[in-house]
Amino acid sequence: MMLRISHISVFLLLVVFCYNATAQKKTNTDSLALFKEVKEKYGAYEKKHGHYIQTPNVKMHYLKWENPGGVPLIWMHGTYSNAYELMAFSDELIAMGFEVYSIDYYAHGQTPVPEKEVSHYHIADDVLFLMNAEGIDKAVIGGWSRGGFISSMFYDQYPDRTLGLILEDGGFDNFIVSYNNADSEERNTFFEQMRNFEDPTEKLFDSLREAWDYYNKTIYTWYSFHSDFIKVDEKFLWGINALRTVNNADWGINPGLANLVKARKEDVAEMDKYFKNPTIAPLFFREIYSFDVEILFRHLHVPTLIFDPRQEKEDFLSDVGDQAEMLARRHPKYIIHKIYKDTHHEVKFQRPEQFLNDVEEFSERIKAHYEEHENISKSIAERLIEGLNIRDAKIYEKLCADNYTSFFPSNSKIAMTKEQELRNAQGAWKAFPDLKWIISDMITDGNKVAVSFTITGTHQEDWGGIPAKGNVINIGGLMTLEIEEEKIVRKYEEMNVEDLFGQMQQ
């Protein structure tokens, strides 16, 4: 497997900050004018797109670019970045049909470090909380670098809330494999770079202005900041969003991040121990060190777009095979593997046009995938009704998963198995020899289908303790089916039983 040092650095939290030697030195007057201008523009942009939500874990900041009726896309940024990394791409994504959300997760941007110990899975929980608050049933979940890992973890926890995945150089690697396949010289070089890393997030300033001046003059530069695709204003807003107050006193650049991700010099010695024994790592690191995408994606059933940048000279080389290629071979129906040659870790910033083209193609893939699933869901519902009408005793075995459960009424706490459901159907067939289900309407939403129906039949034998009088029944009902891997896994049903019994006894 080939692994880039820029890739592994983000996850081991080595971000190279450097002085912008070519930047023009500004006078205090120029600096103050620029600060006021950026602060004003940031306030206006936040008023239009910025939001906060109190989750069970933290007060989380996020951006929302509205597009009513659009497919929700929720984005997680990379380490040391923030929600504004997607600002430059928002117009194009909306034009593709997305409604875009971009979050600041813990210790980034305007979201602080939670008071309790948290993991990346807590961030996934925060995203679910946001979806519920925004009324989002399902979303495309995506992210860059560490954000890609969080996206994969969200899918691991909430597959039924995921329309698709976009993984920009993160979230598809088994991280510890890369470490184990690096030789001692490569490891020593890496840790030496970590020891020499001066993390600006450890610095504190007396005011927002001082933090801004430090940011603007000693500006840390990623490849992304050199991208001509990102306008100057977008870079400045991205930057000022990283400045946050600490205890309503001091100001910092993503304050608290160095401690959360253990990027301090005193943490370097512990990293080697974490690789060898992930169980002793802090909670926020534990699932990153032990992340196993082969297990996590074992039941992958949503379209997944992987951005895999490659360079001619890679820093870590091993012979275990590329993780992304392995996943694509295992899941050819779902994974689209895009290799970007001569490209660094910052894919969308270095190749913005290609990135957007690939995302647009992927959006069409998602639509086609779910149209196909809706057709399958509709067909399964029709086959279930047909099987009930022809008294097919094997219909539940044919269409229902082994773990099938049925709830009647839908809020019942007692679930029926497919065997119990069949016995109920056989009793109804016997009591109403001409029993027939007639579909009134059907609505599909991906792997869910709601069916309104009418049941007619003549009551010829005792049923439910009610003697037969030969009465004809005509009763409406509603069932909702949830389908996975072309099998019904859950059914929720409603019917006016009181009306049914009344028609039988009249």
Average pLDDT of the chain, as a whole number: 86
Average pLDDT rounded to a whole number, residues 88-104: 97
Domain-embedded: residue 101: yes
Does the pLDDT of residue 177 top 90, yes or no? no
Identify which of 49, 79, 80 has the alpha carbon closest to the alpha carbon of residue 64.
49
Judgement on whether residues 399 and 493 belong to the same structural domain of the protein: yes
pLDDT of residue 488: 95
Domain membership of residue 243 (yes or no) is yes
Nearest to 150 by CA among 134, 128, 178: 128
Same domain, 117 and 217: yes
User: In terms of domains, do 303 and 340 share one?
Assistant: yes
Q: Which residue has the higher pLDDT, 413 or 373?
A: 413
pLDDT for the residue numbered 316 = 46
Mark whether 380 and 323 lie in a shared domain: no
Return d(Cα 194, Cα 284) in angstroms, integer. 19
CATH number of the domain bearing residue 312: 3.40.50.1820
Note whether residue 147 is domain-resident: yes
What CATH number is given to the structural domain containing 500? Answer: 3.10.450.50
Q: How would residue 52 be classed by pLDDT, with cut points 50, 70 and 90?
A: very high
Q: Are residues 140 and 86 in the same domain?
A: yes
Cα 307 → chain centroid: 16
Check whether residue 150 and residue 207 sit in a common domain: yes
Residue with tokens 């926890």: 157
Q: Is 190 a domain residue?
A: no
Is it the case that residue 10 has pLDDT exceeding 50?
Answer: no
Do 149 and 38 lie in a common domain?
A: yes
Domain that holds residue 17: 2-174+196-259+292-350
What whole-number distance in Å separates Cα of residue 157 and Cα of residue 121?
A: 8
Residue 21 pLDDT class (50, 70, 90 cuts): very low
Region 287-309: what's the mean pLDDT?
89
345 lies in the same domain as 445: no
Same domain, 340 and 456: no
Q: Is residue 187 part of a domain?
A: no
Q: Of 17-31, 254-268, 347-361, give the lowest mean pLDDT range.
A: 17-31
Q: What average pLDDT does the segment 216-233 reach?
A: 66
Q: How far apart are CA 92 and CA 95, in angstroms?
A: 5
pLDDT given for residue 422 in this prediction: 93
Q: Are residues 310 and 442 in the same domain?
A: no
Task: Report pLDDT digits (tens) over 432-446.
Answer: 999 999 999 999 887
Closest alpha carbon to 130 in 79, 59, 70:
59
Do 237 and 166 share a structural domain? yes
253 within domain boundaries: yes
User: By CB neighbour count within 10 A (0-12 exposed, 13-18 middle, 19+ buried), where does 132 fall?
Assistant: exposed
Number of domains forming the structure of the chain: 2
| Within a domain: 231 | yes
- Owner of token pair 């184990």: 180
Please check whether residues 301 and 397 belong to one and the same domain. Answer: no
Residue type, 451: V
Distance CA 305, CA 369 (A): 13
Domain assignment of residue 96, yes or no = yes
Decide if 102 contacts 72 (C-beta within 8 A): no
